[in-house]
Amino acid sequence: MPAPLPRLDTLLDAADQALRTVFAKPSANRQNPAAQHAAESDQTEQDKVTSAALMRVNHAGEVAAQALYQGQQLFARSPRVRDRLAESASEEQDHLAWCAQRLQELDARPSRLNPLWYLGAYSIGTVAGLAGDRVSLGFVAETEKQVVQHLRDHLARLPESDTRSQAILEQMALDEADHGQAALLEGGLPPPPPVRRLMGLAGQIIRQVAYRV
The tally of domains found in the chain comes to 1
Domain extent for 55: 44-210
* Predicted local confidence at residue 186, as pLDDT: 93
* Predicted local confidence at residue 125, as pLDDT: 94
- Half-sphere exposure in the Cβ direction for 85 (13 Å, CA): 30
Burial class of 207 by CB neighbour count within 10 A (0 to 12, 13 to 18, 19+):
middle
Closest CA to 186 of 123, 129, 140, 126: 140
Looking at the domain assignment, is residue 167 inside a domain? yes
Burial class of 165 by CB neighbour count within 10 A (0 to 12, 13 to 18, 19+):
buried
* Predicted local confidence at residue 23, as pLDDT: 80
**CATH code: domain of residue 163:** 1.20.1260.10
Residue ranges of alpha helices (H) inside 114-192 are 114-130, 133-157, 163-185
* Predicted local confidence at residue 112, as pLDDT: 95
| Average pLDDT per consecutive 10 residues, the chain (213 residues; last block may be shorter) | 60 74 88 87 86 97 95 92 92 96 96 95 94 96 96 96 96 97 94 92 92 91
* Predicted local confidence at residue 42, as pLDDT: 73
